[in-house]
Amino acid sequence: MQVKGINIADTFAEAFSMYGTRVIVTAENDKWAKTAAREASGFATSIIECGIEAGIEKKLSPEETIDGRPGYSILFFTMKKDSLKKELRKRVGQTIMTAATTACFNGLQSEEKIKVGGDIRYFGDGFQISKLYADRRFWRIPIMGGEFLIEESFGIQKGIGGGNIIIIGEDQKTALQAAENAVEKMREVKGVVMPFPGGIVSSGSKIESKYSFLNASTNTAFCPTIKGQTESKLKNNAGAVYEIVIDGLSTEAVAQAMKRGIKAAAVPGIIEITAGNYGGDLGTENFYLHEILRGDLDE
């Protein structure tokens, strides 16, 4: 199969079941809302070392937020519910509450919830105040900058982590531009984030290593500089490879993001677009590239 003359490998991306939530952060202006959102979603590329995966989903206008201020929605994902609560409590407490003029709200309506503000409220040292509004409980916590408003509970649901595409280009400039094109189109899809820096993975990994103390190492089969020294999946003219990892609140959202990304990355100078998997033995969801491209997904 080809898209715009670019070969699309007959393979699949292997993804995993995760738990996800959506956090809404608002502030007095866009500068501080963006600052808090970036800090909260920082160092959250992979649960392998970061403990959580996260990214900014969307910028929100004052008309889209509960308190009528500028805001951002952030998606967070972990493998287990308990770890999601633990990691979220730390990030909200250490990066959102500490940012000037911020407030923090639940952005995911679901039956299952975890207490976040209900735990962070104790920072108020007994001076915190509870307020019930439209069946939603909020906490007003006194802080040096005035008051931090946070919702008591945040909705969580089963999601997907590790959807991916791999872009193989003739040179670094071409491959990077194709990856940037893909991320830009993927970000139009609601319910997904690309957790790596700028949405792009420069140092993709495999789940093995020659060193016993490592459980992951560089993906040698896709490293252009050593393709003559090891078993490689690259053609001789491959000069750079970039991966895009997608986490989403649903399989449909991840598939749609992958489809848009593949189409956007199919530009001159790209040799092939493929995906990473483990033979189907580890992940719970397999996203077949050809099926996604043929599928009737909303554009």
Give the domain CATH number at 76.
3.30.70.520
270 part of a folded domain: yes
User: Is pLDDT above 90 for 152?
Assistant: yes
- Are 114 and 84 spatial neighbours (Cβ–Cβ below 8 Å)? yes
The range of the structural domain enclosing residue 257 comes to 2-14+160-294
- Are 59 and 36 spatial neighbours (Cβ–Cβ below 8 Å)? no
104 part of a folded domain: yes
User: Which of 157, 174, 198 is the C-terminal boundary of a domain?
Assistant: 157
CA–CA distance, 136 with 78 (Å, rounded to integer): 25
237 part of a folded domain: yes
- Are 30 and 36 spatial neighbours (Cβ–Cβ below 8 Å)? no
Both 126 and 33 in a single domain? yes
169 part of a folded domain: yes
- Are 229 and 271 spatial neighbours (Cβ–Cβ below 8 Å)? no
Both 186 and 270 in a single domain? yes
Both 9 and 27 in a single domain? no
User: Is pLDDT above 70 for 299?
Assistant: no
In the chain, the N- to C-terminal Cα span, in Å, equals: 20
299 part of a folded domain: no
Both 97 and 215 in a single domain? no
Of 204, 162, 166, nearest to 182 by C-alpha is: 166
CA–CA distance, 158 with 248 (Å, rounded to integer): 9
> Quick one: pLDDT at residue 48?
86
| pLDDT tens, position by position, 247-279 | 999 999 999 999 999 999 999 999 999 999 988
User: Is pLDDT above 90 for 297?
Assistant: no
Query: Crossing angle, helix 251-265 and helix 172-186, to 10 degrees?
Result: 140
Both 153 and 164 in a single domain? no
Both 166 and 259 in a single domain? yes
Both 215 and 186 in a single domain? yes
User: Is pLDDT above 80 for 184?
Assistant: yes
